[in-house]
Amino acid sequence: MKNFFSEFKAFAMKGNVMDLAIGVIIGGAFGKIVTSLVDNIIMPLAGALIGGKNFDSYSASIGGATLKYGMFLSATIDFVIIAFVLFVIIRTLNKAVKKKNDETVQVENNETVKILGEIRDILAQNRSQSI
């Protein structure tokens, strides 16, 4: 049983698990900020532009069911904003990683060219000595 808990502790303290936990916490906080932005700034402005109504009050009744499409629209705008911000962050990170990889490959290629040049010089020297 002690081995089980020590393995769990090692797993939980790995960098990836901790990074994931921090990402979830920050993501939750960011989601609240975006929801507040949409609910308290964007939707009231949009409502004022189309006649002063609150989007959350837009609904339709069909039979005994009420379809609250205004609230759905607010949630959709939340999603689009969060998806766009994540896209920008991931795109920026991918560019940074690609640039780092390109620089690493360039350095490795330069070292390879240098070593191949040295091999060429040694072979040329050996040929001239054998002739």
Q: Domains of the chain: which residue ranges?
A: 2-100
Contact criterion met (CB below 8 Å) for 55 and 49: no
Mean local confidence (pLDDT), 25-42: 89
- The CATH number given to 2-100 is 1.10.1200.120
pTM, full prediction: 0.56
Question: Is residue 101 over pLDDT 80?
Answer: no
Please name the residue that has the structure tokens 């994540």: 86
Mean local confidence (pLDDT), 87-106: 80
Identify the pLDDT of residue 94.
85
For the chain, give the mean pLDDT: 83
Mean local confidence (pLDDT), 25-51: 87
Please name the residue that has the structure tokens 């808990």: 5
Q: Are strands 65-67 and 60-62 parallel, antiparallel or unpaired?
A: antiparallel
- How far is Cα 71 from Cα 52, in angstroms, rounded to an integer? 16
Mean local confidence (pLDDT), 76-88: 88
Q: What is the H or E stretch that residue 62 is in?
A: strand 60-62
* pLDDT bucket at 62, cuts 50 / 70 / 90: very high
CA angle 9, 13, 19 (to 5 degrees): 145
CA distances to 51, 58, 66, 67, 72 from 63, in Å? 27, 17, 8, 10, 19
CA atoms within 13 A on the CB side of 119: 6
